[in-house]
Amino acid sequence: MQAKKAELKLIEEKAKNCFECELCKNRTNMVFSDGCEEASVMFIGEAPGKNEDETGVPFIGRAGKLLREYLLETGYKKNDIYIANTVKCRPPENRKPTNKEKKACEKYLTKQIELIDPKIIVLVGSTALESFLDKKITITNARGKIFEKEFAGKTRKFIPIFHPSYLLRQHSKEPNSPRYLFKKDLITVKDLIKDAN
């Protein structure tokens, strides 16, 4: 475990000193990860927002707090999860990262996946979905489904879910509402981890 931590720290330091795309010019902090290096499930989001850029921690703005609330509600513990993004620096005005920006960060994210070696990778929102799976699949059609793909040296399981920022505009918790489906998908992931142990 110590060797893994040391290697992740090394990659984090490299990412902090990365100047391969325009995003480095306006960042306050590079946002690398949060969570446990021994986690069974890895959540991959889109990009840091304002709060994340200020603190260097992913998913701590309004959407991130909502994600963490749902994780707590569905029985996840801090040691169960590891959180990262497709890009490590905040895009201006919270726009979607470009392919060039995602490409610049790809080596860091690939190495994170390789070292964490999660049983399940949860793709949070359409940008993460497009980065790993077929771009023609919409998040509405893909959410909650299991996809298997060769990545970072082995066949890995991916499950897309809605981005919590979408849920901020959806308040209903009725069956088949976005919030209901989001919670259901988190429970599906939890059950899959149990089955894999």
Q: For the domain that residue 104 is a member of, what is the CATH number?
A: 3.40.470.10
Tell me the average pLDDT across 124-142: 91
pLDDT band at 50 (very low <50, low <70, confident <90, very high): very high
pTM for this prediction:
0.95
**Rounded to whole angstroms, how far apart are CA atoms 174 and 76?**
22
Burial 146-179 (b: 16+ CB within 10 A, else e): ebeeeeeeeebbbbbbbbbbbbeeeeeeeeeebb
Among residues 77, 85, 73, the alpha carbon closest in space to that of 165 is found at 85
Determine the structural domain holding residue 47 and report its residue range: 2-196
**Rounded to whole angstroms, how far apart are CA atoms 161 and 137?**
13
Q: Let me know: does 49 contact 92? Beta carbons within 8 Å.
A: no
Question: What pLDDT score does 197 carry?
Answer: 63
pLDDT, tens digit, 9 for 90 and up, residues 141-161: 999 999 999 988 899 999 999
Looking at the structure of the chain, the number of domains it has is: 1
